[in-house]
Amino acid sequence: MHMEVLDVSPQLATEWLTRNTNNRPLSKSTVQQLAGRIQRGEWQLTHQGIAFDEDGTLIDGQHRLAAIVKAGITVPMTVARGVPRTAFTVMDTGRKRTGRDALALAGEANATHLAAALRGLHLYLHAPNSAWSGGASVTSNDQLLEMLGKHPGIRDALHHGIALNRACRITVTAATIGWYVTADARPDIDQSPWEDGVVTGARLEPGDPRLTLRNTMLSLAAGRTHRRRDDSREHLLYYLKAWNAWVEGRSIKLLRRSPNETMPRITAHTGPVPTDGQG
């Protein structure tokens, strides 16, 4: 077996793909994800690359090659030739490194929740009205680390998200994103009365947005036997609708998600800052 590093162009990748005569079905979503990483400059040379067996048949790397073709960009890649075809059964059977893994290796605490919050924040900022599940919602580890670098305040927001989750069962992801984007957009507002109201519901009148959000989340949790990946998008929509009503001093007795409803934007500064007694 011989290994070398080569610059693989779209033209060379196209030619090598013609040797792909006995491989697993191609996943279009995987190709799209890899092509996106190449186009964003996230591609890095590793030991993982392209492999040909003793007869020159491509036995590993079809998705990487197809991504090069789709991206239209040349990248360096490890190329192995003469790999025993019997090795095909054990290729790509290891667990992929997740966003949680990347953040944990970077020394971040609460890496699982942080990875989910960063992924959700990326979707909120760049694709707020798309589905938060499926191949189009996938974010790379490099994107998560880049998001953390641009939005370091998400770390503090996560502590509030965990507290809100414990109190009313809103997902940690939704509560963290909701806290972060509202605090970032309206630094003039003390968020403590908002958090206290949602957490305890104490001394709040019916129609207070904090109480309505709390009751809505508890009701959803009681009626649902398992979480769906898209739950965080729905919960964030309710969070922002309630928060906007609180800031505007409006009463709101019902939180509902209409079909194809777009994600609310944060209310700009238009009136007095809300206090614990407002709502």
- Identity at 192, one-letter amino acid code: S
Which of 201, 195, 166 has its CA nearest to residue 179? 195
pLDDT score recorded for residue 65: 95
Residue found under tokens 């109201």: 197
- Tell whether 77 and 111 lie within a shared domain: no
φ/ψ bin of 271: left (φ > 0), alpha (ψ from -120 to 50), beta (otherwise): beta
The residues of the chain scoring below 70 in pLDDT are 23-24, 88-97, 135-136, 225-230, 269-273, 275-279
- Tell whether 78 and 133 lie within a shared domain: no
Domain that holds residue 38: 2-90
**pTM reported for the whole predicted model:** 0.71
Q: Is residue 182 part of a domain?
A: yes
- Tell whether 49 and 129 lie within a shared domain: no
pLDDT score recorded for residue 159: 97
pLDDT score recorded for residue 73: 96
- Tell whether 32 and 162 lie within a shared domain: no
**Spatial distance between the Cα atoms of 11 and 69, rounded to a whole number of angstroms:** 7
Last residue of a domain, one of 43, 60, 90: 90
Q: Is residue 276 part of a domain?
A: no
**How many structural domains compose the chain?**
2
- Tell whether 20 and 121 lie within a shared domain: no
Q: Is residue 266 part of a domain?
A: no
pLDDT score recorded for residue 90: 62
Q: Is residue 72 part of a domain?
A: yes
- Tell whether 212 and 79 lie within a shared domain: no
**Tens digits of per-residue pLDDT, 209-260?**
999 999 999 999 888 755 565 689 999 999 999 999 999 999 999 999 888 8
- Tell whether 55 and 134 lie within a shared domain: no
- 22 - beta bridge partners? none
pLDDT score recorded for residue 279: 43
Strands 50-53 and 75-83: parallel
- Tell whether 112 and 232 lie within a shared domain: yes
Q: What's the 3-state SS for the chain?
A: CEEEEEEECHHHHHHHHCCCCCCCCCCHHHHHHHHHHHHCCCCCCCCCCEEEECCCCEEECHHHHHHHHHHCCCEEEEEEEEECHHHHHHCCCCCCCCHHHHHHHCCCCCHHHHHHHHHHHHHHHHCCCCCCCCHHHCCCHHHHHHHHHHCCCHHHHHHHHHHHHHHHCCCHHHHHHHHHHHHHHCCCCCCHHHHHHHHHCCCCCCCCHHHHHHHHHHHHHHHCCCCCCCHHHHHHHHHHHHHHHHHHCCCCCCCCCCCCCCCCCCCCCCCCCCCCCCC
pLDDT score recorded for residue 59: 86
Q: Is residue 275 part of a domain?
A: no
CATH number at residue 72: 3.90.1530
- Tell whether 212 and 184 lie within a shared domain: yes
Last residue of a domain, one of 44, 63, 90: 90
- Tell whether 60 and 196 lie within a shared domain: no
- Tell whether 111 and 233 lie within a shared domain: yes
pLDDT score recorded for residue 272: 67
- Crossing angle between the packed helical segments 209-223 and 154-168, to the nearest 10 degrees: 70
Q: Is residue 155 part of a domain?
A: yes
Last residue of a domain, one of 62, 90, 118: 90
- Tell whether 84 and 112 lie within a shared domain: no
Q: Is residue 119 part of a domain?
A: yes
Q: Is residue 165 part of a domain?
A: yes
